[in-house]
Structure 1
Amino acid sequence: MQDTYSKLMIADALRRARAEAPFLALLLDREPALAARLDSGALPGLAEAVIDDPAMPVMRRLRLERRRLALLVAIGDLAGAYDLTTVTGALSDFADRALDAAITAAIAERTPEACAVGFAAIALGKQGSHELNYSSDIDPILIFDPDTLPLRPREAPDEAAVRIARRVVEILQARDGDGYVLRVDLRLRPSPEVTAIALPVDAAISYYESLALPWERAAFIRARAAAGDLALGTRFLDTIRPFIWRRALDFGAIGEIRGISRRIRDHHAQGQMFGPGFDLKRGRGGIREIEFFAQIHQLIHGGRDMSVRAPATRDALATLAEAGWIARDEAQAMTTAYTLFRTIEHRAQMVEDRQTHHLPTGAALDGLARLHGLDDGAALLALLRPHVAATARSYDALDPEDGDSLSHDAAHLEQQLAEAGFADHDAAARRIEQWRGGSYPALRSPAAREALEAVLPGLVEALGAAPDPQGALVRLDVMLARLPSAINFFRLLEARPALARLLGAILSYTPTLAEALGRRPELFDGLIDATALDPVGPVETLMAEMADAGNDFQAHLDHVRRIVGEKRFALGTQIVAGVSDPLDVSAGYARVAEAAIGVLAEATVAEFTARHGRVPGSELVILALGRMGGGALTHASDLDLIYLFTGDYMAESDGEKSLGAVLYYNRLAQRVSGALSVPTASGPLYEIDTRLRPSGTQGPLVVSLDGFARYQHEDAWTWEHMALTRARPVFGSASARAATQGVIDSVLRGDRPARDVVADAIAMRAEMAAHKPPKGPLDAKLSPGGLVDLEFAVHVVQLTHRTGFAPHLGAAIVELEALGLVPAGLAAAHDFLTRLLVTLRLVAPDAQVPAPATRALIARALGVADWGGVVASFAATRQEVSDFWAMVAGSRGVE
């Protein structure tokens, strides 16, 4: 009776296979001997899939064995003769044999006389737990021992290992008319994007002991030495066992494990809802949730309770229940569900030999149901539905959503991001998932990801409320990618929520500051001090802060660059935060630059004199011109400098390597320029422009003060005298500065060649307009009626009337207004244009009309009600300046 029953079951299995599974029908055609025995009602043993023919090439033998095994396993499964354990065990055993045969063959092909040692495959995933799918790939980690791996003459071990690994993959994956053996996925190895496909065993051990991620702990629950040098593989696993099973479980580790459980639903938005197309593996309430339910409990308790370390999922559920860590009825329900899900998954894979985990849709779902012995797709869904629902409930209870946290459910997370203000919420969700997955070095540690989770809700809220949420998120991503560690950054944001909003504004409004932050994320640390948003102190205080007591010149350069970077960043942030007038910020930029000039020039002089001595009765003087001379820089300003020296140009230095004064100071000035401009590990400092020196680029870098005076008194052109109106000594002793200022004053008050100042100015302005047109409609500097026109007009008035020579343009205009030499209200025009220039250098450096939210920031910085007021004021101011320039240009300017 039993034989008759078995024959009927086999006959029914064959009928369903031929009718509903094209792949199985093909195998029955390709294996006529096996098909004949099956048709007779016999079920050959699985051992009959093995081909004992040493002469047959290994690739062909393994393909044929796989084909025969696939047929026998499938029919035995469909007939009810093989349970899930038998099916997955047979498939896993074959994968082990095939992988071992491939390794042996790959080594023998290269070194025929050598034993297959020094190379091992560590099976992970379902192969590792003897639960391999019907049509699964395998996920091994390939390791080798450089000391025992067989090598060809003069061959490096790592090169040999990679060649062996490539051949192993080729043997298993290559397809021909007989099909293939196994698909191989090597991406579970450490850092697959940068590491070789075969790893030295000691390097692999080092990685897992120090750098591995939480999901890798979960993966190694099911790891085992499966093929090749099993002693090598076992030694590796024994060594890293403490990494997997930790006896002490702190709150950070629990946070890691919760993160693993949450991410399961984040990767695959489709196939989550139950019904046709449901993903049996990744769907809500599916196979993966049962596996993770078991693994999470194993990670929590397995460090102290060795009984729960079972690799296979159903075994793990049983041991956890036996130990009392989970409820017995819950373990039984999940075991039943897992068995059913895996069985139906196998049915889906039998149809076309595809590694699919989805239920099909439409007529294909009915076909899958019939293959399983049901009437139609509705019956199959009815069979699965209660188990899916029960699994989802148990998994949800494991880690309920915290209402105050950012969701780990993909659909809910996207909804939260959309509500926060992210238009492309799908892209934002993917980026956040990358962070949660430890994709960057700064996010790999448990503490970093715990800190990330703590700050994410406030950060998303702040970025979502920013004017450009998506752009802010992308720029933050760039920051995180460059950070060596993110813990302090996140803790800072957590402790100071207002800083998260400020960060969102910086990343949205100011490409200049955002780029600086991307290069040097540590700049943000300076904002933790409440005084960071206060005006910077006087030059003397800044110089004291930049001073360095050490003797390492390079370290001193780095020190100054760090402080200057922090100060400039904080000054720009003051405008974004709306706490400072851009005019005050502009003056702050200049004080910071002057302090840097003083400190670095002093340090450079000290280093230079140690070798070359000093020129007796002489010293270096640095003269600032342009916006630096006027004490009103923007974030992007370069420094216009002239280098001078006092004393006799025929003198020589008194050092070990004596130099003549001219050569001495030219070399010294070059080094000062380098100290101020050459980037170091702490970033760049300033661009230095020395073209305003006597004779421009044709003249020497440094001239004596006497030579400078003679040139200015006798040979300088109008444009050079215009530049001199904003000159200011910023380095040198008090007496040297006074002497230099005396030369400037005498020249400006009339001790200079007679020129047609107006005609020269008109010609220069026309040439500038031809070669440097406005960058955009908001160019406050180069547009007609902008700051350049205002500067030209004021300098003409200063030179022709020989008065009002304050280096700061605004202060000079106030003096000239008081004398009645310029129209009333011109100082207000200067202030408006300067505020606009300083602000736009941060938020719209291209001088184009920015996004609406940024327009509001500009209006606030300028003290205007709205953007319409900005546009109107800009037009009116430009007209006022143009009228003034036209008036000056029409006057007589010959002195």
Structure 2
Amino acid sequence: MKVTDPSAARRDALARARDHAPFLRRAAEIFPEVVEAFLAQGSEVGVRAALAADDDNVGARLRRQRHGLALAVALADLSGEVSLEWVSSTLSDFADSAMDQALRTAMLERVPDAEPRGIAVLALGKLGSHELNYSSDVDLVLLFDPATVPRRNREEPGESAVRIARGFIELMQQRTEDGYVARVDLRLRPSPEVTPIVLPADAAISYYESSALPWERAAFIRARAAAGDRALGESFLREIRPFIWRRALDFGAIDEIRDISLRIRDHYAQGQAFGPGFDLKRGRGGIREAEFFTQVFQLIHGGREPGLRSAATVEALHSLGAGGRLDPHVAEGIAAAYRALRIAEHRVQMIDDRQEHRLPVDPIALDQVARLDGLADGPRLVAQLGPHVEFVGLQFDGLVSKQNETLSNDPDILRSELSAIGFADVEAVQRQVSDWRSGRARSLRSPAARNAFEAMLPTLMQAIAAGPDPGHALNRFGDIVERLSSGVNLYRLLEARPKLADLLALILAHAAPLADQLGRRPTLLDGLIDDSSFTAPPDADALAVRFLRFMGSEPFDMALEQVRRKVGERRFALGVQLLAAHRDPIVIAEGYSDLAEAAVVALSAGVEAEFERSNGKVAGGELIILGLGRLGGRALTHASDLDLIYLFDAPEGAQSNGRKPMPATDYYNRLASRISAALGTPTAAGPLYEVDTRLRPQGAQGMLAVSIAAFEAYQRSDAWTWEHMALCRARPLTGSAAAKARVRTLIENILQSSTDEAKIRADAAAMRAEMARHKPPAGPLDIKLGPGGLVDLEFTVHTLQLTTHAGLDPRLEVAIAALVDRELIDEGADADLRLLSRMLVVLRLVGAKEMEPAEQSRQLVATLCGQPDWESLLAVVDAARQRIAARWAKVKGMSDAE
């Protein structure tokens, strides 16, 4: 029923309250001042009138305030001039305030003049999320600090805390002619059947760190310090946060939530069928399932993304939808259903101020609820709620429907099942499965791991059987099973996310480097549970900002490990994007490069800050790191190392200001060594990058870090032509903006200083021939080192850059475009570069011997390189290599015959 005039809407709300809700009718008679304030000035003023009720007795005052507030909030709600959030937060705010006053009163009654502190009231459930309903109990956990809780002489802290808590609960729950303040439920505390009603905070922390069940951790999604010693409560919540929000996915917790919901469905079976008598809270598709559905997705993603940890259900759904963690249509549908069901629940509770959640079975009583809501009759209310209930039920069914099918333990039946799945060599596969079931692998020794493994095995075996080389993929999965110390979470994850099993099968069949990473860190699969893994990778600057946050907020060793882990996760995700054809291999190469650049920037900053703490600074000095080769040209592959040169700029004779002053040269060489170690030393998170610094002045014999002045002198006087060719792909990655601009200008000036074209061509040709002798191609398909390969194209471009001073850009594609504009190279060079670059990026990830992929991977390689099949790819690559060879022959001054 829609009424647009506010005054008319308020009068209509009051009329419906009097006609259809006995509790509200009596409350309106008791609190005429609330009714008058509401009718005259609206909802907010009505609430203030209710809270103005006063009494010297705290309990009596709170009960009268709550009674009047129930009337004011109901009238506001029925008038339609406030939202569900307003109703819930108004009720929650009063509960917080009432608990504060009740706890203070209980403390002072026991220990007069004591400072009220030492006991924290944690709100869970709907009060915890500020979503208290109209006639709800409050789910609380009470904690105390033995050092600060008020107590009488010779009284133990625990005894005092329990007595104060009892007084607090009595004040909240006592019923008189004025009603009550709130029903208190303390059953969410640890082991409620044996523990006191208020617990020492330290003991509670120990419990949640070591013994809490998954559902208990999930309950704390909506926990907050609501009253009492809030500092104590907030400190406790900070301590247990890592045990609530797990970074590694815990599908055991998610299974537990599913099981709870199924048990609720079974227990309240009579309230499951939708219609009169339906349980709005616990029925299939009801409020509880909307909340649990939301919490499952929060548990999956919230450990890694704090922005998804909102306690309020609707707010959490919006965050999940906006963040791409939940289909926006689903998020909106669940949110709309949650609102509708909560509003209907409020109407049911307004009738008699009872904690009731069922739609009445009696038709007359159901009509009363509907008419209180402004609807014509009960059937209209049922019809309005029906689509919402069905939507929630269907979505939640998708979470709780679990395949219980497993592969048979009977060898004959198992072989038949494996054959039906699609395996050809069923004997070998059957032996592999039997070996896993023997329990010899560490990851399969616990009952939980074996159960999870058996549950996911049919899904994974189907995905592997559908691949190009099932036996090969199965062997790689066997390696992962053997290497894992604990596999329960990986196995649960694969069971819960069948699409991940398909991706894993793809990795196992084609990408040994990714399979090896998974063997070391199975949690890498966590990052692939949704489409966010396939979004466009951030650029280097954005990634560096994220990584630098770790360096500034955690101890050095922990920050270093965090960045390494993040780099490993992103490299893995980029590899999967490439393998699954979600990105052009050229874009993936740029992503690898940006990731490496961000790692260099963040780790060098962190190492430098740590180094300065021990060794001071060099006044007016700074370190500049040059990226060369594929890093400089933004063309890294999965297997690329990092070609780096360390430069420093410092005043003449400068020294560090540490306890043991060092000359700038020593200082920056030691710093550069530590940065190389941070980038290249393998850790528990796995290896990061191989660092190659041999392109520095004097190569391996020279100092690791040289001054800009020394670098310039060397490059102008002593550098070989090949060193200038390497410098064509150099770019500064770190340093101040001014220093980087200075180095870029210096490099350009050095490259433009080469004027002897004949010598440059002769040196380049000699160097290429020397390279061919000492580093021959791995095989006929070596598109990097073989004739007409990428190295020939790079030599062509760099020789043209040095002899013409055109296209002096570290990115080959940009350089080629400038050379095309000068008509120094043909337009086809860019297409040939991109084709061979795509193939190189793919082959560095897909297993290849002598640069030739295994037969089962050839179609995948062709597809990723934009060709319909392997033969077509070979044809276009051969044609491109002939063109590249001709260009190189022309540039170095040799005829085709030679």
Shorter-chain TM-score range: 0.5 to 0.7
Report if aligned partners of 1:542, 1:595 keep a CA contact under 8 Å in 2: yes
Q: CA deviation at 1:753?
A: 7.7
Report the Cα distance in structure 2 between the residues aligned to 1:470 and 1:489, rounded to whole angstroms: 21
Report the Cα distance in structure 2 between the residues aligned to 1:615 and 1:755, rounded to whole angstroms: 44
Report the Cα distance in structure 2 between the residues aligned to 1:598 and 1:471, rounded to whole angstroms: 39
Match of 1:728 among 723, 726, 731: 731
Report if aligned partners of 1:778, 1:847 keep a CA contact under 8 Å in 2: yes
- Provide the residue aligned with 2:531 in structure 1: 530
Match of 1:643 among 617, 642, 646: 646
1:144-543 correspondence to structure 2 within 5 Å: 404-543=405-544
- Provide the residue aligned with 1:682 in structure 2: 685
Report the Cα distance in structure 1 between the residues aligned to 2:414 and 2:819, rounded to whole angstroms: 62
CA deviation vs aligned residue, 1:318-349 (integer Å, no higher than 9, x gap): xxxxxxxxxxxxxxxxxxxxxxxxxxxxxxxx
Tell me the TM-score normalized by structure 1: 0.54
Report if aligned partners of 2:507, 2:576 keep a CA contact under 8 Å in 1: yes
- Provide the residue aligned with 1:128 in structure 2: none
CA deviation vs aligned residue, 1:642-686 (integer Å, no higher than 9, x gap): 000012252101112211001111111100100100111111111
CA deviation vs aligned residue, 1:201-250 (integer Å, no higher than 9, x gap): xxxxxxxxx9xxxxxxxxxxxxxxxxxxxxxxxxxxxxxxxxxxxxxxxx
Q: Return closer, same or farther for 1:413/1:477 CA change in 2, 3 Å cut-off.
A: same
Report the Cα distance in structure 1 between the residues aligned to 2:431 and 2:757, rounded to whole angstroms: 70
Match of 1:819 among 822, 836, 853: 822
Report the Cα distance in structure 2 between the residues aligned to 1:812 and 1:582, rounded to whole angstroms: 20
Q: CA deviation at 1:791?
A: 0.3
- Provide the residue aligned with 1:228 in structure 2: none
Report if aligned partners of 1:649, 1:704 keep a CA contact under 8 Å in 2: no
Report the Cα distance in structure 2 between the residues aligned to 1:500 and 1:403, rounded to whole angstroms: 17
Report the Cα distance in structure 1 between the residues aligned to 2:852 and 2:824, rounded to whole angstroms: 35
The one-letter amino acid paired with 1:460 is M
Q: CA deviation at 1:473?
A: 1.3
- Provide the residue aligned with 2:559 in structure 1: 556
Name stretches of at least 5 consecutive residues in structure 1 with no aligned partner: 1-209, 211-250, 256-401
Report if aligned partners of 2:578, 2:585 keep a CA contact under 8 Å in 1: yes
Q: SS of 2:419's equivalent?
A: helix
Q: Return closer, same or farther for 1:851/1:419 CA change in 2, 3 Å cut-off.
A: farther
Is 1:800 equivalent to 2:810 in the alignment? Answer: no
* % identical equivalent positions: 50
- Provide the residue aligned with 2:667 in structure 1: 664
Report the Cα distance in structure 1 between the residues aligned to 2:436 and 2:847, rounded to whole angstroms: 30
The one-letter amino acid paired with 2:875 is A
Report the Cα distance in structure 2 between the residues aligned to 1:836 and 1:584, rounded to whole angstroms: 13
Report the Cα distance in structure 2 between the residues aligned to 1:555 and 1:845, rounded to whole angstroms: 36
Report the Cα distance in structure 1 between the residues aligned to 2:612 and 2:468, rounded to whole angstroms: 53
Report if aligned partners of 2:405, 2:455 keep a CA contact under 8 Å in 1: no
Report if aligned partners of 1:421, 1:469 keep a CA contact under 8 Å in 2: no
Report if aligned partners of 1:463, 1:473 keep a CA contact under 8 Å in 2: yes
Report the Cα distance in structure 2 between the residues aligned to 1:631 and 1:803, rounded to whole angstroms: 19
Report the Cα distance in structure 1 between the residues aligned to 2:677 and 2:530, rounded to whole angstroms: 31
Q: CA deviation at 1:427?
A: 2.4
- Provide the residue aligned with 1:571 in structure 2: 574
Q: CA deviation at 1:515?
A: 1.9
Report if aligned partners of 1:618, 1:648 keep a CA contact under 8 Å in 2: yes
Q: CA deviation at 1:523?
A: 1.9
Report if aligned partners of 1:586, 1:634 keep a CA contact under 8 Å in 2: yes
Report the Cα distance in structure 2 between the residues aligned to 1:706 and 1:470, rounded to whole angstroms: 59
Report if aligned partners of 1:626, 1:726 keep a CA contact under 8 Å in 2: yes
Q: SS of 2:532's equivalent?
A: helix
Q: SS of 2:665's equivalent?
A: helix
The one-letter amino acid paired with 2:678 is A
CA deviation vs aligned residue, 1:698-735 (integer Å, no higher than 9, x gap): 21111101111122222211111111110000011111
Report the Cα distance in structure 2 between the residues aligned to 1:802 and 1:717, rounded to whole angstroms: 17
Q: CA deviation at 1:421?
A: 3.4
Report the Cα distance in structure 1 between the residues aligned to 2:842 and 2:668, rounded to whole angstroms: 38
The one-letter amino acid paired with 2:468 is P
Is 1:712 equivalent to 2:712 in the alignment? Answer: no
Report if aligned partners of 2:838, 2:865 keep a CA contact under 8 Å in 1: yes
Is 1:890 equivalent to 2:870 in the alignment? Answer: no
Report the Cα distance in structure 2 between the residues aligned to 1:875 and 1:778, rounded to whole angstroms: 9
CA deviation vs aligned residue, 1:42-94 (integer Å, no higher than 9, x gap): xxxxxxxxxxxxxxxxxxxxxxxxxxxxxxxxxxxxxxxxxxxxxxxxxxxxx
Report the Cα distance in structure 1 between the residues aligned to 2:755 and 2:823, rounded to whole angstroms: 25
Report if aligned partners of 2:585, 2:842 keep a CA contact under 8 Å in 1: yes
Q: SS of 2:852's equivalent?
A: coil
Report if aligned partners of 1:840, 1:847 keep a CA contact under 8 Å in 2: no
Is 1:847 equivalent to 2:841 in the alignment? Answer: no
The size of the alignment, in residue pairs, is: 495
Q: CA deviation at 1:849?
A: 3.2
Report if aligned partners of 2:404, 2:455 keep a CA contact under 8 Å in 1: no
The one-letter amino acid paired with 2:877 is F
Is 1:837 equivalent to 2:837 in the alignment? Answer: no
CA deviation vs aligned residue, 1:776-807 (integer Å, no higher than 9, x gap): 22211001000000000110111111010111
Report the Cα distance in structure 2 between the residues aligned to 1:675 and 1:848, rounded to whole angstroms: 31
1:101-180 correspondence to structure 2 within 5 Å: none
CA deviation vs aligned residue, 1:336-388 (integer Å, no higher than 9, x gap): xxxxxxxxxxxxxxxxxxxxxxxxxxxxxxxxxxxxxxxxxxxxxxxxxxxxx
CA deviation vs aligned residue, 1:261-304 (integer Å, no higher than 9, x gap): xxxxxxxxxxxxxxxxxxxxxxxxxxxxxxxxxxxxxxxxxxxx
CA deviation vs aligned residue, 1:727-753 (integer Å, no higher than 9, x gap): 000011111111111111111222678
Report the Cα distance in structure 1 between the residues aligned to 2:851 and 2:801, rounded to whole angstroms: 33
- Provide the residue aligned with 2:26 in structure 1: none
Report the Cα distance in structure 1 between the residues aligned to 2:515 and 2:501, rounded to whole angstroms: 14
- Provide the residue aligned with 1:369 in structure 2: none
Report if aligned partners of 1:571, 1:585 keep a CA contact under 8 Å in 2: yes
Q: SS of 2:589's equivalent?
A: helix
Q: CA deviation at 1:403?
A: 9.3
Q: CA deviation at 1:636?
A: 0.6
Match of 1:653 among 647, 651, 656: 656
CA deviation vs aligned residue, 1:430-464 (integer Å, no higher than 9, x gap): 22223334332322222222222221111100011
Report if aligned partners of 1:620, 1:665 keep a CA contact under 8 Å in 2: yes
Q: CA deviation at 1:755?
A: 6.8
CA deviation vs aligned residue, 1:14-52 (integer Å, no higher than 9, x gap): xxxxxxxxxxxxxxxxxxxxxxxxxxxxxxxxxxxxxxx
Q: Return closer, same or farther for 1:438/1:545 CA change in 2, 3 Å cut-off.
A: farther
Report the Cα distance in structure 1 between the residues aligned to 2:603 and 2:652, rounded to whole angstroms: 24
Tell me the TM-score normalized by structure 2: 0.53
Q: SS of 2:733's equivalent?
A: strand
Name stretches of at least 5 consecutive residues in structure 2 with no aligned partner: 1-210, 212-254, 260-402
- Provide the residue aligned with 1:779 in structure 2: 782
The one-letter amino acid paired with 1:884 is R
Report if aligned partners of 1:758, 1:889 keep a CA contact under 8 Å in 2: yes
1:88-103 correspondence to structure 2 within 5 Å: none
The one-letter amino acid paired with 2:410 is D
Q: Return closer, same or farther for 1:723/1:757 CA change in 2, 3 Å cut-off.
A: same
Report the Cα distance in structure 2 between the residues aligned to 1:473 and 1:754, rounded to whole angstroms: 57
How large is the RMSD of aligned CA atoms in angstroms? Answer: 2.2
Q: SS of 2:849's equivalent?
A: coil
